[in-house]
Every structure is written in C-alpha cells, then in structure tokens.
Amino acid sequence: MKLLTLALLLACAGLLPAQTYDLLLRGGRVIDPKNNLDGVRDVAVAGGKIARVAANIPPNQARKVVDVAGLLVTPGLIDLHVHVYTRPEQKERDSSVQADAHSFRTGVTTMVDAGTSGYKTFPDFKARVIDKAQTRVLALLNISGSGMGTGREDMLAELDAAAAASTAKQYKGTIVGFKSAHFGGPGWESIDAAVKAGKEADMPVMVDFGYLNNVRNIKDLLQDKLRAGDIYTHCFSGHREELLADGKVNPAMFAGRKRGVIFDLGFGAGSFYWYVAAPAIQQGFLPDSISTDVHSGSMNGGMKTMANSMSSVLNLNVPIEKVIAMSTWNPAKEIKRTDLGNLDVGAEADIAVLRVDKGQFGFIDSAGASYPGTQRIAAELTVRKGRVVWDENGRAAESWKTYKYDRKKWTK
C-alpha cells in the first residue's frame, strides 16, 4: 500500500515517465529499406502512427510491450498483385478471394488488386470491398471497362483509355495505375490503350502479356511499348521467352530494365517456374517486387501465401534484406505511394514481425516441381494502423489467468 501511494505521488509530481506509447516492439532486427536501416531497434507506436524507432526505448513508456527479439521487424508487406473483387453476379467465373482472409496472417497490410475491376465496375468494387476491408486495398484499373474475367477483355469497344483515366483521377490514391491482361486479340490495342490511360493520369501500367503471337513479342513490349515505371508482371513465367532455349535470360529483359521497366514476380497459378527463376537470378536478373497473384486457383498451389512467395525467392540465394525491400519499399515506389512501405516517424503504423525458420523445407512452383530450401519466412505478428491484427503465438496477448468471465464477456 505504501509503495502504491509513493508511486501515485511520484506520478503526480511528474517524476515517473508517462506511458506515451500504445505499443512497443522491443529488441527485433528492424529492416527498413527506405531509411537504410538494418539493426536491432525498438519500434514505438502511438495513435496509430509510428512514434519512434530507436535503441532501448524505456518499456515503462508504453502501455503494451511485446518482446520481438530474434525476429525481423519490417514495414507492413505490400502485395502488388492480388484479385479480391468478388462479384455476386459472376459466381461461376469469379476466382477472387477475400482480402482480410489472406493478408494479415502473412504479414501483408496493403494489397493491390491487379485489374479485376475496370472503370465501369470500380465504384461497386470500392463500395462493397475496398471500403469494408480492414486490409488497405488499392487497385490497378483494368483497361477493359468491365474488368477481368467478364469475357469482354478482347472487345475493342471496352478499351476506353479516356474513361479509364478519368475514373483513375477521380479516385486517385486508391486507384494507383492500370492493368492490361488476358487480351486475346492479335495486336497491341490493349497495351496501347493502357499506356495512353497511364500517360493521361500519370500512373504506371502493369502488363500480364499472355502468350506471344506473330504481332506481339517481348522485345517490342519492353523496348518500345512500355515506359519507364511500367510493370511487367509474371517475370519468371517462361511463357514469353523470358528465358531463351540456351538457358540465358532474354536480352530484351535486361534492355527493358535499363529503360526503367519494372519486373514483378506475380507467382500465381501458372507464372513462376524454377527452370526460369533459378537461372535468371543466378545471372543477376532479380525481380524488383514480389507479389502473389492470389486467387482461388493459386492459393492452394505452389504460391500459398506472400510469405511463401518471399521464401521461394529467399531460397534462391537472394539476401533477406533484398527480399524485404522487394516486398515493402519497392512496391510502394512502383505505385507512387511512398507514404507506405516504410517505418518513418508519423507514418501509419503498418508493421510486419517476421520469423525466419531454419531447417529442411520444400517449395513448389507452378508446375508442381519441388525445390529444397533451408529457410522459411512466417508472419509472427502483424500490426495495422497501430493495432495488432495477427498474433500467431500470442506475443501481444496476456495470460488467460488475468481474465475472468462474468457470464457475458471476458474481462480483466
């Protein structure tokens, strides 16, 4: 009783530190590529924002302290290529998934839907999915007005660059670019329209190039059609001669990178193969960003999760620091959302606490082929807007012995 009275007197006199932070992550290896930070630090959160990143922040300054020693603390992961716009009227062909079911459990706090909606359908996507998700959901607008999977992607009348650009400017910040995908026509109409919209709205274009034909080829795409800052997804798919018959990376890939074209992984159900990825990385051609292309056809295959996709790259001898950059700061820059993907003081507190397990693991590509690995990334804790939204091992929770049940709810 005397100690409690003394503490109250000291607090009133201002001699005890106030609990200025809501959450303190202590002792983790902080990797923040934007700020060139890689070292043991504490991360303090207050009011949903990053409040401080420093060594040895006093734990008595925080209401909740979480020990993350031995773990990686990074900005919340950004999955640049997902499909999360579900249409109730399109149940037979809809392969999108629910954003919150696939994000936090793997360290992702931001998802970018890659072209599932077009300018005609985006308002519905925003109202029914984006505005209701806990995950931050952004969008690359399909240049086909009705969006992906509608059976209308080959219709030239759907390729309205002016309407797409107008919609993107109306929702700027949420719409972060355009997508050309699954165009079955023989020409460049879809690519040209997407780039035209990109120029009008000052936004990047992501291209899923499909398969080559007598008109479209990867050299012209990367050296003529796309601009610096445009994104070539599925970069290790092998469907478009990314790797030549002699086992060498197509020189067009290096030439495109030299021009400033961005290369995204886009694992998906049929777009990541060891026979392409392993020699490409060995030859120095790494992806700029790692993404999942998560949908109902890929989530139970080789891709599995964002963390598993990152692990696949990690086990191809890419340093963990680069893997983190490919999953945080690089995609933030690619979509011109540099408020994301970092741990700047004042930034929204989106944080991933990752565990890198050591052992003998197997990873699978889109063909079902396995590849042995010795490291596997898993999400231990995810913080969104300063709130713990995924806690695999109860690190941020308190013992059940401190709770009691009053017939209606658990209380401390």
From 21, 31, 32, 29, select the one nearest 57 (Cα to Cα): 21
Q: Does residue 95 form part of some domain?
A: yes
Structure tokens at 380: 């231990």
Q: Does residue 159 form part of some domain?
A: yes
Give pLDDT tens digits for 140-151.
999 999 999 888
In the chain, the number of structural domains is 1
Give pLDDT tens digits for 312-323.
999 999 999 999
Q: Does residue 350 form part of some domain?
A: yes
Q: Does residue 37 form part of some domain?
A: no
Q: Does residue 98 form part of some domain?
A: yes
Give the C-alpha separation, 211 to 230, whole Å.
19
H-run or E-run covering 324: helix 320-327
Residue range of the domain that includes 340:
75-357
Percent of the chain surpassing pLDDT 90: 85
Average pLDDT in the 290-313 region? 96
Q: Does residue 210 form part of some domain?
A: yes
Report the Cα 153 to chain-centroid distance in Å. Answer: 25
Residue 11: pLDDT band (50, 70, 90) is very low
Residue 405: pLDDT band (50, 70, 90) is confident
In this prediction, residue 91 carries a pLDDT of 54
Q: Does residue 39 form part of some domain?
A: no
Cβ neighbours for 210, distance < 8 A, ≥ 6 positions apart: 181, 182, 183, 184, 239, 240
Q: Does residue 61 form part of some domain?
A: no
Give pLDDT tens digits for 236-283.
999 999 999 999 999 999 999 999 999 999 999 999 999 999 999 999
CATH code of residue 234: 3.20.20.140
Residue 378: pLDDT band (50, 70, 90) is very high
